[in-house]
Amino acid sequence: MKNTHHFCGKQTISFVLDQIPYIVLFALILWNCLFTKNFFNIATLWNASFQCASTVIVSMGMMLVIATGGIDISAGALIACAGMLATLTMRQSSCILGVLAGLGTGLAGGFINGIFAGRFKVQPMIVTLSMMYIFKGAARLASGGSNVSTNTPVFNDLTYIRIGGAPIQLFLFLAVVAIMGFLVNKTTFGQRVFAVGDNARASEMAGIRSWLVILAVYMIAAFLTSFAALVEISMATGADPNNLGTGMELDAIAAVALGGTPMNGGRPRVMGTLAGVFILQIITIMINMNNVPYAYSLAITAAILVAALLLQRVKDRIA
Amino acid sequence: MEYILEMKQIQKSFSGVHALKGVDLCVCPGETHALVGENGAGKSTLIKILTGVYSKSGGSILFDGKEISPKTPNEAQMLGISPIYQELNLIPDLTVAENVFLGHAPKKRGGLIDWNRMFTETESIMESLGIDVDVHAQIHTLGTAVQHMVAIVRAIQLECKLIVMDEPTSSLDKKEVDSLMKMIRELKKKKIAVIFISHRLDEIFEICERVTILKDGEGVGTFAIQDLTQHEMVCKMLGRDFSKRERIRTERNFDDVEYLFELEHAVWFPKIGDMTIRIRKGEILGLAGLLGAGRTESAKVMFGYARPEKGILKKEGNIVKIRTTRDAVRLHMAMCPEDRRAEGIVPDMSVRDNMMLASLSGKSRFGILSEKVKRQISEEYIDKFSIKTPSSKQLIKNLSGGNQQKVILARWLATNPQLIILDEPTRGIDIGAKGAIEELIQEFSNQGISVLYISSELDELVNNCDRVLVMRDGRQAGELTGTELSRDAILTAIAGAM
Ligand SMILES: Nc1ncnc2c1ncn2[C@@H]1O[C@H](COP(=O)(O)OP(=O)(O)OP(=O)(O)O)[C@@H](O)[C@H]1O
Ligand SMILES: [Mg+2]
């Protein structure tokens, strides 16, 4: 017996694996600072905030849904639908009513998702897929298929508010992240989400009504998504029923996966998810600034995503 | 004597936990070797190293004369070491024979499966072990004990030389344990060695030739069974003197005490025919019966986890609505489920958070439960139950099985219940802790808390309960109180001679 002190490889490895999103993000930033012209500039941050604010907001909701073991693929379509209804309402009445219409659409849609997934225990994939069609259809039907502009300067101008040079979008998504961090890590609701995702039967035996938790989670997710829709229409001064929000759910799912929230339910990782969005965003910027075709950016994103999921599996295996 | 297995100076560290500090384990061919020790002593860790689930931090393993160091369970299997896990990894929809030959079915020329050979070979192994099972039956139609046997037959078919069983009997009833014992004797004749982990000493004295005792990750020694008495063995396990308590229960009369909870005429097809359970304040009521008699189901109905077709629940004489487990928690009921892995623990959560799971509404303010409260409560129970964990922040899945069970118990005690339903609370718990839990149950009852105690261990029921209901086929088959309450009386009632 030479040594009585042993390092435990596995525990160390699993700790390092938890840090992967941050390491990757850091590496990407470093690489770009060194090799991408004009990257090391505060304007890059402001631009990125513009571009990824709504993705961050949607991802935070998606993270909760995934933490309970579900998925919401109606998010992108909800952006189109909530955005369109908000725009149309704004045109016809007031800015405030438009905002309420957008958020209301989200809450209603989330309620339907949550009731079916939680109470009636329908596969979340199927429920939200159906809702995706409904949202898409509703957006086209309401607009007749063409672009509509808000015609509400008060609302559109919100986009350009800057505080100390930083765009309002930065503060919006940071606020959402902060609230989510509090919700997940400090409240009993956060504990319930974690427990239901990790072992639904045990949670029910412990007196947690899992269907209510699931309902709440889908409603929060859809509410955040419709909030993101408002951010988007304000920037675009209107809604395009065919393109608004397209693919947003995929970006959000990718960010959550990159961030280390287990895809079949478990501990939600707020900062990881934020890092996940940044990683995806930096890849896009990198590609743009270096004049690489868009298709490559998709391929690189895919590669990073697969790598992240592989690492998650490695962690499950050794834990 | 030639050993088939020699594990020498095995060490294992998890970060912060030195689980094994140089343990020796030697097994002879054809021997049934017991491995005993307190919860968290390191038994499961030792055999997980042997079967390739964990890698060792030090020491050496000689198997069949060769030094081995299996990296995966599959590798261990190829070497001839087969684990029989608690959660059997059989495929429920396949037949017995298909499961036995899973992954290496006999082939005809041309690569087609030789079904005839598969069925006849399975039958012949079964016959040689004296088991009578239809090899064409699907696994899910068979009982747990039979499934265990199929897993063992599979191991034999793979020509293994050593079978490792980690608490195989904890989810079996008496009759099933007997047939498993019979099977282990057949294995002896085939010169297949068995490592047998159990907290039930009777079984060990019945079937094993030698025993290795672990304490706190160190080997206390290996002894021939006939050189030890049960009492000596327990003292060596616990490292202190231990006196087995007889019936703790003082003769108490509950006839004048009012009922706290009454479950009346519950019907839940097909498990419960017509069941009435009335429990008095401060009373310890036992539920006896065979596996599948409807005990767990009755408890689940009472606790609002299952919705019966018929039946009402009364609390203190008033009918109460109970539709979910949350209603039950509101009515101050608590329930420790029997299947702790599936219905108890939230594996990736810390010990602390697991303990607070049932108190999330009760102990929080404005949806927030302060870390200080959590820490205080969890540390209190860790102390009280001597739960082995480096800290209350350790993930519960890293605790030993028995210690996980204690955390679940603590989860419910923290809710200050008036009625505690305990479904096999001592399953997988070592003798020392069992005594502590039994004492605790008496203490509850003295404080006026009622206990509904489900157990397959008749001695436990007789020692602890004021009254025992015996169930058979979803109905009450007998009721025993006071002096009529004895092991034999329960057995008679179970058998249906009343
Ligand atoms: N993956 C792990 N990470 C950290 N600690 C662990 C891990 N697995 C086991 N331990 C610790 O190692 C010790 C031995 O655990 P083990 O499961 O071997 O006990 P055991 O003898 O099988 O107990 P029981 O009778 O309760 O099943 C315990 O203190 C446990 O907390
Ligand atoms: Mg164990």
Contact residues of ligand 1, CB 6 A cut-off: B 14, 17, 19, 37, 39-45, 388-389, 398-403, 430
Closest CA to B460 of B405, B411, B423: B423
Instruction: Write out chain B residues lying below 8 Å of A186, CB-based.
Output: 368
Q: Using CA atoms, how far apart are residues A136 and B234, in angstroms rounded to an integer?
A: 69
B316: left (phi over 0), alpha (psi -120 to 50) or beta: left
Query: What type of residue sits at position A89?
Result: T
Phi, psi torsion values for B24, nearest 5 degrees: -105, 140
A1–B58 C-beta distance less than 8 A: yes
What atom of ligand 1 comes closest to residue B388's alpha carbon?
29
* pLDDT of B93 above 90: no
Q: Which of A7, A8, A195 sits opposite B357 (nearest CB)?
A: A195
* pLDDT of A224 above 50: yes
What's the burial of B8, exposed, middle or buried (CB within 10 Å: 0-12/13-18/19+)?
middle
* pLDDT of A170 above 90: yes
User: What is the pLDDT confidence band of residue A223, given thresholds at 50, 70 and 90?
Assistant: very high
A209–B326 C-beta distance less than 8 A: yes
What ligand has the least distance to the C-alpha of B55? Answer: 1
Instruction: Write out chain A residues lying below 8 Å of B333, CB-based.
Output: none
* pLDDT of A5 above 70: no
Q: What does the DSSP assignment read for B238-274?
A: HTS--------------TTSPEEEEEEEEEETTTEEE
Share of chain B above pLDDT 90, in %: 33
As a whole number of Å, the CA-based R_g of chain B is 24
Least confident of B123-132, B193-202, B374-383: B123-132
Region B186-193 average pLDDT = 88
Q: Using CA atoms, how far apart are residues B418 and B430, in angstroms rounded to an integer?
A: 27
pLDDT of residue B497: 52
A208–B344 C-beta distance less than 8 A: no
Region B51-61 average pLDDT = 90
* pLDDT of B132 above 90: no
pLDDT of residue A4: 35
| Higher pLDDT pick, B86 / A94 | A94
- Report the mean per-residue pLDDT for chain A: 89
Long-range contacts of A35-39 (CB under 8 A, 24+ apart): A36/A285, A36/A286, A36/A289, A36/A290, A37/A289, A38/A289, A39/A285, A39/A286, A39/A289
Region A13-33 average pLDDT = 84
Residue A108's CB: how many other CB atoms inside 10 A? 14
A61 contacts A68 by C-beta, under 8 angstroms? no
Tell me the CATH architecture of domain A11-318.
Orthogonal Bundle (1.10)
Region B12-27 average pLDDT = 88
Q: How far is the CA of B202 from the centre of ligand 2 (A)?
A: 18
User: What is the pLDDT confidence band of residue B1, given thresholds at 50, 70 and 90?
Assistant: low
Q: Which of A191, A199, A209 sits opposite B345 (nearest CB)?
A: A199
Q: How far is the CA of A68 from the centre of ligand 1 (A)?
A: 28
Asked if B323 has any chain A CB less than 8 Å from its own CB, the reply is: no
pLDDT of residue A3: 36
Q: How many CB pairs under 8 A join A and B?
A: 92
Residue-wise pLDDT tens digits, B205-246:
999 999 999 998 999 999 999 998 888 888 888 887 777 666
Contacts of residue A26, defined as CB under 8 A and 6 or more positions apart, other chains included, come to none
Residue B313's CB: how many other CB atoms inside 10 A? 24
Would you call B224 helix, strand, or coil by DSSP? strand
pLDDT of residue A178: 97
Phi, psi torsion values for A5, nearest 5 degrees: -95, 130
B260 contacts B418 by C-beta, under 8 angstroms? yes
Highest mean pLDDT among B25-39, B228-242, B357-371 belongs to: B25-39
pLDDT of residue B348: 92
What's the burial of B475, exposed, middle or buried (CB within 10 Å: 0-12/13-18/19+)?
middle
Least confident of B31-35, B149-153, B224-228: B149-153
* pLDDT of B498 above 50: no
Helices and strands counted in chain B (H then E): 16, 20
Q: What is the model's pTM?
A: 0.86
User: What is the pLDDT confidence band of residue B105, given thresholds at 50, 70 and 90?
Assistant: confident
Show which residues on chain A lie within 8 Å of chain B, measured between beta carbons: 1, 3, 6-8, 10-12, 186-189, 191-192, 194-195, 198-199, 201-209, 262, 266-267, 319
Asked if B362 has any chain A CB less than 8 Å from its own CB, the reply is: no
* pLDDT of B399 above 50: yes
Q: For B360, name the nearest residue in chain A, comparing CA atoms only.
A: A188
Share of chain A above pLDDT 70, in %: 94
A262 contacts A16 by C-beta, under 8 angstroms? no
Contacts of residue B107, defined as CB under 8 A and 6 or more positions apart, other chains included, come to B113, B114
Instruction: Write out chain B residues lying below 8 Å of A201, CB-based.
Output: 342-343
Share of chain B above pLDDT 70, in %: 97
Q: For A202, name the nearest residue in chain B, comparing CA atoms only.
A: B343
What's the burial of A11, exposed, middle or buried (CB within 10 Å: 0-12/13-18/19+)?
middle
* pLDDT of B317 above 90: no
Helices (H), B414-457: 431-446
Q: Which of B14, B343, B368 sits opposite A186 (nearest CB)?
A: B368
pLDDT of residue A107: 97
- Report the mean per-residue pLDDT for chain B: 87
- Cis geometry, peptide bond prior to residue B73 (ω within 30 degrees of 0): no
Instruction: Write out chain B residues lying below 8 Å of A189, CB-based.
Output: 367
* pLDDT of A7 above 60: no
B364–A6 C-beta distance less than 8 A: no
* pLDDT of A318 above 70: no
Q: Using CA atoms, how far apart are residues A166 and B159, in angstroms rounded to an integer?
A: 71
Residue-wise pLDDT tens digits, A226-253:
999 999 999 999 899 988 998 899 999 9
The ipTM estimated for the assembled molecules is: 0.85
Q: Which two tokens stand for residue B281?
A: 């304040």
Q: Which residue has the tokens 């209107």?
A: A238
Q: How far is the CA of B399 from the centre of ligand 2 (A)?
A: 9
Query: What type of residue sits at position B32?
Result: T
* pLDDT of B475 above 90: no
* pLDDT of A16 above 80: no
| Higher pLDDT pick, A51 / A176 | A176
What domains are defined for chain B? 5-238 (3.40.50.300), 259-495 (3.40.50.300)
B305–A207 C-beta distance less than 8 A: no
* pLDDT of B88 above 80: no
Residue-wise pLDDT tens digits, B250-260:
677 777 788 88
Region B273-293 average pLDDT = 88
Angle between helices A75-92 and A124-143 (to 10 degrees): 30
Q: Using CA atoms, how far apart are residues B110 and B54, in angstroms rounded to an integer?
A: 40
**Whole-Å CA distances, A21 to A42, A143, A177:** 22, 40, 16
Instruction: Write out chain A residues lying below 8 Å of B305, CB-based.
Output: 204-205
Asked if B103 has any chain A CB less than 8 Å from its own CB, the reply is: no
Sign of the C-alpha dihedral, residues B393, B397, B401, B404? positive
Would you call A170 helix, strand, or coil by DSSP? helix
Angle between helices A20-35 and A9-18 (to 10 degrees): 60
B338 contacts B354 by C-beta, under 8 angstroms? no
Residue-wise pLDDT tens digits, A50-68:
889 999 999 999 999 999 9
Q: Using CA atoms, how far apart are residues A302 and A168, in angstroms rounded to an integer?
A: 30
Region B107-116 average pLDDT = 85
| Higher pLDDT pick, B62 / B87 | B62
pLDDT of residue B303: 93
To test the contact with chain B by mutation, choose from A18, A205, A318 the residue with the greatest count of B C-beta atoms within 10 A, namely A205
User: What is the pLDDT confidence band of residue B381, given thresholds at 50, 70 and 90?
Assistant: very high
